[in-house]
Chain A
Amino acid sequence: MLIRALLIWLALAGAAAAQTVNTANSYLIFSTQAAALARSQTQCQNLKCDGVQTIYWWNVIGPLNAGTAGSTAVTANSYAVEIQPSGPFGATTTTSKVATPTGLSTSEQSSLVTGTALGPLAPGGTVTSGGTATP
């Protein structure tokens, strides 16, 4: 119960805290924080997370500012699921308990925006020479 309360608090706190965009990552944009968290949670469920200690698979950042990330229109207060480029947290993550690769759908993969494109829309963010967006 305590852990669940903490995770809910974490999710809510994420909305208020400054967020960082890493240009090495890709981002899948959702219109609400709940939708982004749900997608992250679905991935965790697909990969057999226990749902108690580990609930979400990908990090979620936001709220985003309105604008255009690449060719994708972003509305104010949208949120983004952060996809690392490879490894155990990548878009096509698989584990020994999953018979077939489980990750982003083809449609979702085609909807990914780059960190560089999304950086200016991060909460109060601007892309620095180091490639990250900070408030």
Chain B
Amino acid sequence: MWRFLVALLLLCASAQAQDYPIIGGGVLAPAATYSGPGNVVSGATAWYGLRAYNAAYAVAGSNAINVRRASDNSTENIAVLSTGALNISAANTFAGTDATASCTFATTTATCTGASSTPHVGSTITGSGVTEPCYVTAVGTFTGGSGTLTVSGNNGLSAPCGTIASATSITLQYGLYVTEAYDQSGSNACSSAPCNASQGTAADQPQLFPTCINLLPCLSGSGSRLLISSAFTAIATPQSLSAVYNMSSTAGSFSEVIASQSNAGVGSAIQKDSSTANSICVSNNGTSTCNTSVPDGSWHAVQGIVGTGSSGILSVDGSSSSGSVGTTSTQTTVVLFASTSSTHLMTGNIAEAGIWPSAFSSTVYGSGAGSLCHNQYSYWATSVSC
């Protein structure tokens, strides 16, 4: 009888342990599953980003970008982690340290002393109090470790790296430039291969800012850099586009975040349509619907539906409007930061962008749970909750 009671107690304890695993007195929380844009809405023709497209891509730990480092022009693939995040630590290690120094910052000038070596143009800057992103656009004469740097964040801010009157210790890391952004969609829409977007000319390669949007990385274009995909079979219409971007106030007319079109033609795009400040548009075949209350110099999640004639959709940070957009166009490539290989170049930063061969549902392009905006806001912490 006694043995029976002991056995019964052991069985109960075993059953309880299986239902409620207890370690250290606490209940184990289920492992968080990464959810990316491809989990919100699958089937993108092409998608590029500095995080994983979906949970499967994260689990696989596949490559997101290939970068060239400025120090010796060697290149390396940078993958995503199982968390969905870009393995920015690997990128930072690959880049290497350019110099250290102690600097003050005022407008676009950093005045430095104690530099370990003369810094180089393109190096990114980190340090206590430094507003990110921050990188070197020009190097003055350095004598005995003292000199000045011209700095920017490609976001149009008058003091892009912040104003720091009391010298702060900074680290300069060699610039990383993106030779290729890998199409994570899995659609293999370019001759049965991924529509990777690349740039073989060094001067035209977007820069990777390791710390850019809320401590996460971004791609940066300074008005002369772009990535362009290999050619794909024409995308069906209607189409949907999505991007997380930060447009500089210095960006000119027709600055493209993402465009899908022929080399010389006008296709589908998320773009600043005119020189109007604080505006963003969704466009197809030369007809646009715009929102003119979208602050430049800050991050936004934008979705657009095109190829539907008068019922196009532009959704900015979860706030949607409808308007006329074009219905047809010939499209053969996807371009980031431009509309063709040489026009409509954007000054600003991009975290992710993609195109789908179908119209998003209102749940997807709107706000709240189940929307792309909510997924993007939750990950990147864009300017407005949605």
The chain A residues found within 8 Å of chain B, CB to CB, are 2-3, 5-7, 9-10, 13-14, 16-20, 22, 40, 44, 47-50, 52-61, 82, 84, 86-89, 95-97
Contacts and interface: CB of A to CB of B under 8 A. Distances in A.
A44 to B, nearest CB: 7
A61 B342 contact: yes
A15 to B, nearest CB: 10
Given A53-B200, A87-B137, A88-B120, A6 B341 contact: no
Contacts of A18: 264, 340, 342-343
Task: Bin the interface of chain B by size.
Answer: 35 or more
Nearest to B120: A88
Contacts of B6: none
Given A2-B196, A96-B71, A97-B72, A14 B203 contact: no
Contact of A6 (B70, B198, B202): B198
Given A6-B200, A47-B73, A53-B198, 4 more contacts: A14-B341, A16-B264, A44-B73, A57-B203
Nearest to B204: A59
Chain B interface mostly = loop
Given A53-B66, A95-B73, A17 B264 contact: yes
B205 interface: yes
A76 B288 CA distance: 37
Contacts, number: 116
A58 B198 CA distance: 15
B72 A19 contact: no
A2 B183 CA distance: 13
B122 interface: yes
B68 interface: yes
B179 interface: yes
Contacts of B345: 20
A97 B137 contact: no
Contact of A3 (B68, B121, B180): B180
B297 interface: no
A118 to B, nearest CB: 15
Contacts of A89: 202-203
A17 B341 contact: yes
A54 B121 contact: no
Contacts of A55: 200-201
B74 interface: yes
B200 A58 contact: no
Interface in B47-78: 66, 68, 70-75
A33 to B, nearest CB: 13
Interface in B209-255: 224, 228-231
B202 A56 contact: yes
B185 interface: no
10 contacts: A2-B191, A2-B230, A9-B230, A16-B264, A18-B343, A40-B201, A53-B179, A53-B180, A88-B175, A88-B202
A88 B69 CA distance: 11
Indicate the member of B201, B230, B345 with the most A CB atoms within 10 Å.
B201
Given A13-B263, A16-B264, A86-B121, A57 B74 contact: no
Contacts of A97: 71-73
Nearest to A49: B73
Contacts of B75: 50, 52-54
B193 interface: yes
A52 B231 CA distance: 19
B341 A10 contact: yes
B73 A48 contact: yes
A61 B204 CA distance: 12
A55 B180 CA distance: 12
Contacts of B41: none
Contacts of A14: 341-342
B263 A2 contact: no
